A and B are shown apart, each in its own frame.
Chain A
C-alpha cells in the first residue's frame, strides 16, 4: 500500500499582501480589509510577532533548563497567529490546539498562565471566560466541534460574536473536524475554521493527510474557503476580518487555510532531523514572516533604530516576566488532585481523599515526601 506522493497539495494560489521580499502587493479583493492599518498599525504587528517569537524562545530555553516539562514551539507561525488573533473582537471566543500561544497572547493571557500546564503545575492555565479562549486542546481536532457548538449558541442567542477554532493540517484527517464542518454548514454557525497548515504533523508531511489543497475540502461541506499565505501577517489579518464579517452578518462559517511552516521541532521532545530535509527548512526560512514585515517596514522608513530598540525592550521585558513567573510559580498542593473532579460532592471520591489524607498523616509529612521521591527514582529505573 504505497502512498501516492504525486498529488501536490501545496500548489495553489495564496492570498498575499506582502511578498517574501517585503514588497506590498495590491489585491483588489483584500486590500479593503486592511485599509485602516497605518504605519503605527504595521509597527504594532511587527512588535507582536517579535514578542511572541521571544516568548517562544524563552519558553524553549526554560524547557531545556528543566523548568518546563515540554513546550510546543510556534517558530515560523507568528504571522498566522498574530494576523488572525489581532482580527478578533474581545467577545469572540477561541478554541485552539496546543501551539497557539501567539493567539493566547493576543487574547491578553497572563504570561505565567501560559506556562502552568507545561510546567506540570495545573490541568489548565487560565480561566477560559477571562480571555474568551478555551484551554489548549491536546486531542487532535476535538476543539473544532466545541467551536461549532459555541457558534450555534451564539446564533441561538441572536448575538454577533464569532467562534474561531485553530488546528493543524494533520487534524483535518480526524472525523471530529469533518463532523464539525457538517454541523457548521447545516446550522450556518458563525465559526471560523483556521487551519495552520505548517506542512507537518509530527513526522508526517501534509501530503499524507490531504491529496488536494486542504482548503478545497470545505466547499464540499458547503463552507467557503480561502488559502492565505500564512507567513504574511497582513494577508492573515485581511482574510480573518473578511471571515469574521461574514459570520457576524449571517453568512455562516468560513474555512481558512494559512499555508505556513513549523520551523522548529513539533515539541521540545521531537527531533525533526530524523524525518525532515535541511534544505526544506532553508527554503522556508527565506519566507520568514518577521523578516518579511521588517523588510516592508524598512523600505518605508518605519524601522528606525529607535523603533527596533523599543520593540526589543518590550520583548526583553516580556521574556523576563515570563521567566520570573515560571520560576516563582507556587508548587501545587497534594490534595488538590481531588479538587474539581465533580462540581457536586461525590462520596466515593471523598472517601478516597479522606483515606489518602490519613495515609499522608500516618507517614507524617517528612516520610511522605521521601516516599514520593523514592517512587520517582524507582519509576525512572
Chain B
C-alpha cells in the first residue's frame, strides 16, 4: 500500500501497463517532455523512449485516426485528449471508426484503444476546458466508457482499460487529480471488473447514483443526510457504458427511491437513461419518481458562475429531500415536481 494522488495513480498504472506489454504506446499533445498539461504522463517518455510515448502534432482527428491504424497493426494505443472540449475534433474518428471497426469486420479487427479524457469542471478554466461529454459516447455502440473516482480505481482501471480488447473512453475527473488515497499496487487486476459498479456507502432510505468527480460530493451528502436521520446508499457507477444496472436495481429495490447526480447537462444525459432503465426494472418498488440533480442545459458557464452549474452538497440534499417527499425547494409546487 502506498499513498498517492489520483494523477500519480494513473501514471503508475500507465507505467505498469507499458512494462507488461511492449505493444502499449502512448500518444497525445505535450505528453512527452512536459508530461502532459496535468503531468499525468510525467517521466514516461524519459523512461520508455519517444517511440513509446509520442508527442503528436496538434490534431485530434489525426491522433485518433492514426491510433486506429496502429491498432490494425497490433498495437494498444493509449491516447490522451488534453481537455474534454478538444475531443470533438476527433469525434468522427471515435464514433464512426473506433466504435465500429470490430463490428464492420465481423470481429476480425480489434481496437484495443484507450482514450484518456480529463473531464468535468470546478477548476476555474476558460471555455472548452470543463465539459462533461460522456453521454455522446455512451450513446454510441461499440465503445466502453468508464469514469474513475479514486486513486485505487484509477490505478487498476487504467490497466484494465488498456488490457481490454474493446475501445475504452477513460474519463478522469480533473478537479480530483490532487486528491490523495491509498493504492495497493500488488492488487490482482482480475479480481474486479471495470464494468462493475461499487457501493460506496450503504444505506436504506435513498439510492444516490453518481460517478467520477461527484462521488466524493455524494459521499459527503450521505454523511450530511445521516446527521438528519436519512440513510443514503451511494453508488459509484464506474462504468458508464455498459452500466451495471443489476447493482443499482438491487439497491433501489431496497430503498425505493432513486437520485442521480452528474455534472453533465440534464437533457439526454445519463441520468435520463438510469431513471428510465430503473423505472422499467423497479416500477413497483419505487416510492417516488427518480430525481435528477445535474448541470443545467447550458454551455458550461464562465468560471465565476460555475459553482452554480455544478451540483453541490446542498443541491444533492435537496434532491434527496424531493425523492423522500420531505420539505424541499420545490415542495410548494403542486403535482409532480422533479
Interface residues of A (CB under 8 A from B): 1-3, 69-70, 117-123, 138-140, 170-171, 173-176, 201-204, 208-209, 269, 274-275, 331-332, 334, 336-338, 341, 346, 348-349, 352-353, 355-356, 358-359, 361-363, 371-372, 374-376, 378-381
* A374 to B298 alpha-carbon distance, docked (Å): 23
Contact A359 B329 (CB under 8 A): yes
Shortest distance from the beta carbon of B67 to any chain A beta carbon, whole Å = 12
Can you name the residue of chain B whose Cβ is closest to the Cβ of A267? B126
**Residue B326 lies at the interface, judged by CB distance under 8 Å to chain A:** no
**Residue B134 lies at the interface, judged by CB distance under 8 Å to chain A:** no
Contact B30 A175 (CB under 8 A): no
Residues of A within 8 A of B85 (CB): 138-139
Residues of A within 8 A of B328 (CB): 362
Contact B51 A348 (CB under 8 A): no
* A60 to B51 alpha-carbon distance, docked (Å): 37
Contact B329 A175 (CB under 8 A): no
* A334 to B54 alpha-carbon distance, docked (Å): 43
Which DSSP category, helix, strand, loop or mixed, fits chain A's interface?
A: helix
Can you name the residue of chain A whose Cβ is closest to the Cβ of B25? A1
Partner of B220, one of A121, A175, A201, A378: A378
Q: Tell which of B25, B55, B58, B318 has the most Cβ of chain A within 10 Å.
A: B58
Contact A341 B297 (CB under 8 A): yes
Residues of B within 8 A of A336 (CB): 305
Shortest distance from the beta carbon of A64 to any chain B beta carbon, whole Å = 15
Knowing A175-B61, A359-B315, A362-B329 are in contact, say whether A138-B128 is a contact too (CB < 8 A).
yes
0 or 1 for each of B47-60: is its CB under 8 Å from A? (1 = yes): 00111001111111
Q: How many A-B residue pairs have CB under 8 A?
A: 163
Contact B30 A203 (CB under 8 A): yes
Interface residue ranges of B206-260 to A (CB < 8 Å): 216-217, 220
Can you name the residue of chain A whose Cβ is closest to the Cβ of B27? A1
**Residue B74 lies at the interface, judged by CB distance under 8 Å to chain A:** no
Knowing A139-B128, A173-B62, A209-B58 are in contact, say whether A203-B34 is a contact too (CB < 8 A).
yes
Contact A379 B58 (CB under 8 A): no
Knowing A336-B305, A352-B296 are in contact, say whether A209-B312 is a contact too (CB < 8 A).
no
Contact A138 B62 (CB under 8 A): no
Contact B305 A175 (CB under 8 A): no
* A139 to B179 alpha-carbon distance, docked (Å): 29
0 or 1 for each of B35-48: is its CB under 8 Å from A? (1 = yes): 10100000000000
**Residue B325 lies at the interface, judged by CB distance under 8 Å to chain A:** no
* A151 to B30 alpha-carbon distance, docked (Å): 34
Knowing A117-B126, A355-B329, A374-B314 are in contact, say whether A204-B55 is a contact too (CB < 8 A).
yes
* A171 to B220 alpha-carbon distance, docked (Å): 43
Contact B330 A358 (CB under 8 A): yes
Shortest distance from the beta carbon of A241 to any chain B beta carbon, whole Å = 30
Contact B297 A348 (CB under 8 A): yes
**Residue B124 lies at the interface, judged by CB distance under 8 Å to chain A:** yes
Jot down 23 A-B pairs with beta carbons below 8 A, ordered by A.
A1-B25, A1-B51, A1-B54, A2-B50, A120-B124, A120-B126, A138-B129, A139-B86, A139-B89, A171-B58, A173-B57, A175-B59, A176-B89, A204-B55, A275-B33, A334-B308, A352-B297, A353-B296, A356-B308, A359-B315, A359-B330, A362-B329, A371-B313
Residues of A within 8 A of B216 (CB): 378, 381
Shortest distance from the beta carbon of A267 to any chain B beta carbon, whole Å = 9
Shortest distance from the beta carbon of A143 to any chain B beta carbon, whole Å = 13
Shortest distance from the beta carbon of B328 to any chain A beta carbon, whole Å = 8
Residues of A within 8 A of B302 (CB): 117, 120-123, 332
